[in-house]
Structure 1
């Protein structure tokens, strides 16, 4: 199964089908449409997502953080924290590290 849209584009909003996690696509690969999952369940367009049940569990996906795939062609921004690990084509996505600021003298 592939992602809900024919192709992912920057600005697309996705939601976890069984989680409160919501993300926005910041960068998407031009040559393929990867399967994006949250907690091993494919993500769906945020506009069609049913309300997820609230949980007291510690979130796996953190608000305001960017997540990238292994080759750096897909980048997601978390807009609503939730449980479930983000993955691209079955490979867990990693938290994008901040760029170091240049030293000032």
Structure 2
């Protein structure tokens, strides 16, 4: 799937929905629950359950990144599946402390 910053995609096996904050220029295999994600506008009802190992769930408002940090997704609707690129699961991005204001 070709992804651009601002693209909205959803899971085919759970309620997870995300917005791309940062995306690489090339096609990328974004998955949720071990199944490729679909365009947000896709109205087809797909079912199933997240695959074993990809069923850790997503958290609303959290940003998920790949190890290289070339991909960043913001979770807008949580679900039972874990986000990943291919078989590699994404990690929650660590928040940085705000600078002190004097």
Structure 2: tracts of 5 or more residues without a match: 48-55
Q: 1:27 is matched with which residue: 14, 22, 37?
A: 22
**Relative to structure 1, is the Cα distance of residues 51 and 80 closer, same or farther in structure 2, using a 3 angstrom cutoff?**
farther
SS at match of 2:41: helix
In the other structure, the counterpart of 1:46 is 40
Shift of 1:60: 1.0
Question: Any idea what SS the aligned residue of 1:76 has?
Answer: strand
Cα separation, 1, equivalents of 2:12 and 2:43:
7
Q: Which residue of 2 aligns with 1:9?
A: 4
- In the alignment, the residues of structure 2 paired with residue 94 and residue 49 of structure 1 have an alpha-carbon distance, to the nearest angstrom, of 28
Report the counterpart of residue 88 of structure 2 in structure 1. Answer: 91
| CA RMSD, Structure 1 to Structure 2 (Å) | 2.0
Q: Distance in 2 between the 1:49 and 1:37 partners?
A: 18
Alpha-carbon contact 1:70-1:91 (below 8 Å) kept? no
d(CA) in 2 for partners of 1:52, 1:78: 19
Q: Which residue of structure 2 aligns with residue 56 of structure 1?
A: none
Correspondence for 2:53:
none
TM-score (norm 1): 0.81
1:64 equivalent in structure 2: 61
